């Protein structure tokens, strides 16, 4: 059975090899690597040397299954994701599945749950969220910047039938691109040693690696290509555009498809964020080329003369257009009906203030959220699963902060002071750029989350220097409600012993008040009787497990 497939494959390779070696003469750079695709299994994290730049060996990289990036995880919605993370480093490690709505704690990559050198751990959970481009990367307390910079990252793609039915460009016209800037030495070594100033600004590279390929090129036809872009840089904000200035269609942001495509020619992609664009190469003549790049923009905050800085123009991938269009991909006028909750569904507002701590001579640089550095052991607040909250994120520092939340997707309600929400902030998000001096308001829906998570700045130097906070999502226990003449009896399992029982006479908005009295225990159930007043009454039971 497999034998036939092997024979077919070798026949195809034999036919293709002479063509590509002949044609490669007028290409400059290195062919874009496409990582292998898997759907789980063991991810081995190891320190090793690889040849990334032709003719050089780069030492001490942190590889996932032997590569930087690691293999691409690709699963269908509803499929169970099962993986073992084997830490073969000589330091702690934990992996985070960025944008994936996993259970909290170790399954999510909470820094408090990292495993020591030589140890392994396993995760297993169903992937329930909508199709989209997600990713994974190191998430070890105070080592995230180093481990991710040295390579510990990969892509995590979720498919679903609704998306597949749209007929978007697929197969070799669907290109996942994990983009990260690096700063190689003359002998192409990667070293991670941010100075105090670089802890302030972030650690910038001098060139972009696309799927681990420096100066990447890729041969395309004049058709439509779906490019799934991930900004996996430690600190570099990308302003994505094409070297030709041509427009393209933005079809998805962090957590999957937008309602409808948006035509534009440049947009912001901060570290941690994803965007999917469809590029039509028909505007480039056969034999021509066009580069996907990060455009130049003025840097804010600390700029060290001579050091790599924010806002430098850099190419990510150069596309050589070599033949007429093939493939049948289209971009429908409507993509998905996302149905966000209305702002009126929000049950409370929380405020987050992002700041750089005042510099103290001889002390390491710190970044704060609400005046505190990260404490992996402290859960700073708890929210109830199923609820919607408004988060106001205020940046009082002079650097931009890509604000990221684990375990949830959110909507950007407003950039305070801006007329409208820009294209890259529409749809479902998990990371949003909050520029210096700005306040951004988010509508956060906690639906699949349960356990302990973190929120943080995705500038990894800021994250590692304290701009992170732990929070918990407690499951809302499923109570049974019975009406008995003039009382309602609410019952729930005995195991749920730490709880809050509340009542409201209205919903959306609700005004929850504690139910007075205390429950009795009978036949393995807690039972709480509440008098029925007039009209309707809603009850809510929140618990800690
Ligand atoms: Cu991609 Cu906690 O981050
Ligand atoms: Cu994340
Ligand atoms: Cu930051």
Q: What is the residue-averaged pLDDT of the chain?
A: 90
pLDDT band at 53 (very low <50, low <70, confident <90, very high): very high
Q: Is the pLDDT higher at 527 or at 389? A: 389
Q: Considering every ligand atom shown, identify the ligand nearest to the alpha carbon of residue 110 and give its number.
A: 1
Measured from the CB, is residue 137 less than 6 Å from ligand 1?
Answer: yes
According to DSSP, the β-strands at 37-38 and 72-76 are parallel
Mean pLDDT of 343-366: 93
User: Is 479's pLDDT higher than 80?
Assistant: no
- 10 vs 224: CA distance, rounded Å: 28
- Atom 1 in ligand 1: residue holding the nearest Cα: 98
Q: For 366-410, how does the pLDDT look when each residue is reduced to its tens digit (9 = 90+)?
A: 999 999 999 999 999 999 888 899 999 999 999 999 999 999 999
Mean pLDDT of 321-346: 93
What does the buried/exposed string (b/e) look like for 15-35 if buried means 16 or more CB atoms within 10 Å of the residue's CB? Answer: eeeeeeeeeeeebebbebbeb
Write the burial class of residue 344 (CB in 10 Å: 0-12 exposed, 13-18 middle, 19+ buried).
exposed
Measured from the CB, is residue 272 less than 6 Å from ligand 1?
Answer: yes
Q: Considering every ligand atom shown, identify the ligand nearest to the alpha carbon of residue 462 and give its number.
A: 3
Mean pLDDT of 279-291: 97
Q: For 422-441, how does the pLDDT look when each residue is reduced to its tens digit (9 = 90+)?
A: 999 999 999 999 999 999 99
pLDDT at 210: 98
Measured from the CB, is residue 98 less than 6 Å from ligand 1?
Answer: yes
**Between the CA of residue 363 and those of 143, 359, 372, what are the distances in Å?**
18, 8, 16
User: Is 289's pLDDT higher than 50?
Assistant: yes
pLDDT at 474: 87
Measured from the CB, is residue 96 less than 6 Å from ligand 1?
Answer: yes
| Whole-structure pTM value | 0.85
Ligand 1, residue 454: give the atom nearest the CA.
2
Cβ-based neighbours of 536, under 8 Å, separated by 6 or more? 505
pLDDT at 286: 97
User: Is 13's pLDDT higher than 60?
Assistant: no
Distance 404 CA to ligand 1 centre (A): 7
- Atom 3 in ligand 1: residue holding the nearest Cα: 98
Share of the chain above pLDDT 90, in %: 74
Ligand 1, residue 468: give the atom nearest the CA.
2
Measured from the CB, is residue 406 less than 6 Å from ligand 1?
Answer: yes
Q: Give the total residue count for the chain.
A: 545
Q: For 161-210, how does the pLDDT look when each residue is reduced to its tens digit (9 = 90+)?
A: 999 999 999 999 999 999 999 999 999 999 999 999 999 999 999 999 99
Ligand 1, residue 456: give the atom nearest the CA.
2
pLDDT band at 12 (very low <50, low <70, confident <90, very high): very low
Q: Considering every ligand atom shown, identify the ligand nearest to the alpha carbon of residue 233 and give its number.
A: 1
- 512 vs 497: CA distance, rounded Å: 20
- 180 vs 209: CA distance, rounded Å: 5
Q: For 243-257, how does the pLDDT look when each residue is reduced to its tens digit (9 = 90+)?
A: 999 999 999 999 999
Distance 40 CA to ligand 1 centre (A): 19
pLDDT band at 4 (very low <50, low <70, confident <90, very high): very low
Distance 145 CA to ligand 1 centre (A): 11
Which residues keep their CB under 5 angstroms from ion ligand 3? 401, 457, 459, 462
Q: Considering every ligand atom shown, identify the ligand nearest to the alpha carbon of residue 400 and give its number.
A: 3
Distance 275 CA to ligand 3 centre (A): 20
Q: How many CB atoms lie within 10 A of CB 540?
A: 20
């Amino acid at each position: 059975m497999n034998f036939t497939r092997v024979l077919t494959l070798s026949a195809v390779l034999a036919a293709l090899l002479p063509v590509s070696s002949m044609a490669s003469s007028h290409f400059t750079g290195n062919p874009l690597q496409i990582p292998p695709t898997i759907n789980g299994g063991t991810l081995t994290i190891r320190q090793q040397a690889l040849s990334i730049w032709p003719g050089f060996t780069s030492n001490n990289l942190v590889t996932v299954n032997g590569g930087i990036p690691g293999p691409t995880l690709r699963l269908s919605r509803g499929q169970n994701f099962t993986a073992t993370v084997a830490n073969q480093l000589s330091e702690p490690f934990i992996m985070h599945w960025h944008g994936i709505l996993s259970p909290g704690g170790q399954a999510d990559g909470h820094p408090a749950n990292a495993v020591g050198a030589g140890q392994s751990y396993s995760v297993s959970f169903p992937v329930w969220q909508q199709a989209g481009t997600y990713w994974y990367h190191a998430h070890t307390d105070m080592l995230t910047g180093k481990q991710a910079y040295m390579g510990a990252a990969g892509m995590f793609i979720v498919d679903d039938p609704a998306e597949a039915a749209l007929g978007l460009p697929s197969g070799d016209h669907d290109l996942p691109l994990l983009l990260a800037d690096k700063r190689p030495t003359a002998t192409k070594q990667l070293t991670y040693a941010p100075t105090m100033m670089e802890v302030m600004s972030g650690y910038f590279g001098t060139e972009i690696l696309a799927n681990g390929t420096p100066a990447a090129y890729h041969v395309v036809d004049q058709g439509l290509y779906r490019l799934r872009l991930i900004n996996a840089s430690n600190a570099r904000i990308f302003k994505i555009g094409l070297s030709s200035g041509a427009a393209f269609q933005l079809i998805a942001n962090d957590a999957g498809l937008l309602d409808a495509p948006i035509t534009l020619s440049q947009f912001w992609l901060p570290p941690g964020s994803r965007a999917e664009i469809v590029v039509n190469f028909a505007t480039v003549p056969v034999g021509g080329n066009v580069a996907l790049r990060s455009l130049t923009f003025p840097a804010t905050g600390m700029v060290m003369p001579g050091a790599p800085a924010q806002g430098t123009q850099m190419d990510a991938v150069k596309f050589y257009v070599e033949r007429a269009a093939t493939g049948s991909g289209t971009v429908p006028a409507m993509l998905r009906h996302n149905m966000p909750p209305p702002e009126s569904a929000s049950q409370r507002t929380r405020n987050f203030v992002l700041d750089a701590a005042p510099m103290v001579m001889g002390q390491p640089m710190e970044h704060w959220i609400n005046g505190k550095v990260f404490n992996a052991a402290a859960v700073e607040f708890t929210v109830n699963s199923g609820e919607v909250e408004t988060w106001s994120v205020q940046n009082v520092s002079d650097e931009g902060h890509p604000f990221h939340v684990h375990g949830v997707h959110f909507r950007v309600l407003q950039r305070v002071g801006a007329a409208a929400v820009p294209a890259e902030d529409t749809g479902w998000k998990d990371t949003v750029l909050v520029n210096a001096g700005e306040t951004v308001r988010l509508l956060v829906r906690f639906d699949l989350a349960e356990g302990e998570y973190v929120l943080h700045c995705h500038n990894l130097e800021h994250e590692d220097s304290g701009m992170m906070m732990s929070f918990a999502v407690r499951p809302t226990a499923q109570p049974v409600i019975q009406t008995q003449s003039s009382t309602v009896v609410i019952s729930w399992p005995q195991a749920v012993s730490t709880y809050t029982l509340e009542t409201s006479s209205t919903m959306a908005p609700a005004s929850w008040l504690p139910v007075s009295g205390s429950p009795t225990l009978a036949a393995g159930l807690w039972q709480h009787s509440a008098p029925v007043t007039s009209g309707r009454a809603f009850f809510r039971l929140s618990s800690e497990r």
